[in-house]
A and B are shown apart, each in its own frame.
Chain A
Amino acid sequence: MHKIFSLSRKEQLAVQFILIAWACVVLIPLGVAVINSFKPNLGEVYRAPLALPSEWTWSNYAEAWVGANFGGYFLNSAIVSLSVVVIVCFCASTTAFVLVRMPFRGSALLFACFMIGVIIPIRLALAPLFTIVKGLGLLDTLTGLILVQSASMMPVAVFILTAFLKSVPSELEDAARMDGALPFQIYWRVVLPLIRPALATVALLSFVQAWNEYFLPLIFLQSSELYPLTLGIAEFRAQFSVQWHLMFAGILIMLAPTVIAFLLASRQFIEGLTQGGVKE
């Protein structure tokens, strides 16, 4: 590295000070959550929120998981998120495949419609969306929620996949066409393996988005046995807002999957952040 980027001893010290300061801002809330979630009783949380537990215990996690039904919420979140990932990956890749490789009259218009979905957030169309879901009898069902959340991810997913597909040459698909492969076969045997990197980004993006979504479940679910974690934790807070040790445990249960996903695939994450930055 050139010397313009290297720092003198003094400069290094100043820079480290600022960087550590922000690292503390980031880490302290998470650290406080971790230590307090292991405390045996509420008194200790209130008395000394910054101190280590006098005795480390998993009981808050057990209590949250079973007593506060975080186990059930977790299952619902998992069902919704995984379904959304599968649906979005399938629907967006078939759509992008046809739009890029088998264009027809009107395909540019169709793509423009998808781009409108990128531009205008679906939340603003809350009232008509609610009416449609209700009309289809899908209110207060996981199916309805899954479809709505999948649809909200479609524009960005189609955008990422069409851009990727345009960047790879079509000779492989031409070769398959010469050999008599039909679109289903080309999609399944040629295109799907080809777009795997972009598909991984889309899968990660839609998983995190679906797992973290609060607003859409709030609108479309009423029965608490269907609640995902985002609603479950809000419900828990409304009822037991003083049970901080349980809140901390619940929050950490909720964070675990996305943090793990991030640790496993931080590179795709950051790529997705810049590509999918179109919509947050």
Chain B
Amino acid sequence: MAKMSYNRKANLQRIALLTPGVLLFGIFNFLPLVALLGLSLVDWPGVGSADFVGLENFRKLALEPYYRDQFVNALVQNIWMFVLIIGSMLLLGSLLALLLSFGTNGRGAYRAIYFLPYPLAGAAVAFLLDLMVQPRGAINTFFVKTLGWWDAPIGFLGDTDLALPTLAMFYAWHRMSFAIVLILSAIVGVRVILLEAAMLDGASRWRMLKAVVFPVLAPAFVLITVIVMVDVFNNADYTLLLMGPEAGPLRSTDVLGTFLFRTSFGGSATSVNVNFGMAAAIGLVTAILILPAALFLALKNLRKD
């Protein structure tokens, strides 16, 4: 046999280079995403045979009280949680970033400290902050025993009204530096223009901020909002870790992620009411909910290069 030409060898090697990545991503990421479409049309507890039911899962989700009530409850609470998180991140994040952009003493140290929670695992953050807010934890001890401001300890995570906001604050504590970094880099990026404009018309600092800094914050705000939104609507780690799949107390911390988890694997070992088809339908609906935001993000990133 003749020696293989360069082009032939190059072609074979190209295929060989492409194969591992494509197989890995294809089997364990792309295929499941595509399979959502098919799986959402069947009724299947995960073992045994699957029954084709058409759009029945979606109908149940919209109309049947058992699913509808859970879905609506999870969705509303998910939105509430998102609003709390994004509100605190944008407000506090902007304030802190703005203060850091001035000639503040110790800026480097503050930035390093603020960034510290970012690389921590969600599981560690959840348990750490849980220990802080426990009735016998540091916060209650401080306000009840040390200061004497509170008569009795507050059970943050045991209260149906407080549990969800508390989890939202955990999230904000963990991810605040993300907002700070993005907003700060937007402010720093405008610095030269700001300087020149300030020199030219000698405007007051507040007017400068309003005229020059705030407009450039808009893109950073949008980016933070979109990223946090995609995350909060699919990632229910805090609830799962601290409240379990039943999202107690009384499902007051239930979000779409926990609802999806419960539907796939049940709330406890004895659950019988599990349905992979329904889980796929919930996943698909959630995907459609966050798709506009996610698409926006992807297009923005693609335009960049």
Contacts and interface: CB of A to CB of B under 8 A. Distances in A.
A255 B102 contact: no
Given A114-B25, A122-B33, A248-B128, 20 more contacts: A2-B195, A7-B102, A104-B14, A117-B25, A119-B297, A122-B32, A126-B279, A128-B35, A130-B276, A131-B35, A131-B39, A132-B27, A147-B27, A154-B21, A212-B123, A215-B237, A230-B122, A230-B123, A233-B123, A280-B178
B227 A280 contact: yes
A266 B264 CA distance: 39
A32 B132 contact: yes
B70 interface: no
Contacts of B146: 50
A206 to B, nearest CB: 13
Contacts of A183: 10, 13-14, 17
Contacts of B287: 120, 124
13 contacts: A16-B105, A28-B138, A29-B173, A32-B131, A123-B234, A128-B280, A129-B32, A212-B123, A214-B123, A230-B123, A251-B124, A258-B120, A278-B298
Given A19-B110, A214-B241, A258-B119, A126 B261 contact: yes
A45 to B, nearest CB: 9
Give chain B's interface residue range (CB within 8 Å of chain A): 35 or more
Contact of B6 (A33, A118, A180, A247): A180
A234 B123 contact: yes
B256 to A, nearest CB: 9
Interface of A: 1-2, 4-7, 12, 15-16, 18-19, 22-23, 25-30, 32-33, 46, 48-50, 87, 90-92, 94-95, 97-98, 102, 104, 110, 113-133, 136, 147-148, 150-152, 154-155, 158-159, 163, 166-167, 180, 182-184, 187, 208, 211-212, 214-215, 218-219, 229-230, 233-234, 237, 244, 247-248, 251, 254-255, 258-259, 261-262, 266, 269-270, 273-274, 277-280
B29 A95 contact: no
List 9 tightest A-B contacts by C-beta distance, closest first.
Answer: A95-B21, A151-B28, A212-B121, A128-B35, A124-B283, A91-B21, A125-B32, A129-B32, A127-B279
Given A29-B132, A122-B32, A212 B305 contact: no
B139 to A, nearest CB: 9
A49 B208 contact: no
Contacts, number: 309
A23 B234 contact: no
B276 A1 contact: no
Interface in B125-143: 127-129, 131-132, 136-138, 141-142
Contact of B103 (A1, A130, A147): A1
A23 B114 contact: yes
B17 A154 contact: no
A163 B14 contact: no
Nearest to A2: B195
A273 B35 contact: no
A277 B223 contact: yes
A154 B24 contact: yes
B9 A211 contact: no
A120 B121 contact: no
B127 A7 contact: no
Interface string B173-210: 10110100110010000000011001100000100100
B2 interface: no
Nearest to A15: B99
Contacts of B101: 5
Interface in B246-270: 257, 260-261, 264-265
B29 A122 contact: yes
Given A33-B128, A274-B185, A215 B240 contact: yes
Given A50-B141, A122-B29, A154-B29, A16 B104 contact: yes
B235 interface: yes
A20 to B, nearest CB: 9
A26 B116 contact: yes
A6 B107 CA distance: 13
A166 B301 CA distance: 14
B80 interface: no
A259 B131 CA distance: 20
B222 interface: no
Given A4-B194, A19-B99, A121-B235, A155 B25 contact: yes
Nearest to A94: B17
B13 A182 contact: yes
Given A123-B257, A151-B25, A214 B92 contact: no
Nearest to A46: B136
A262 B16 CA distance: 35
Output the residue of B22, B101, B284, B287 with the most chain A CB within 10 A: B22
Contacts of A212: 119-124
Max chain A C-beta neighbours (<10 A), residue from B18, B106, B137, B297: B18
A163 B304 contact: yes
Contacts of A159: 301
Contact of A30 (B104, B116, B208, B277): B116
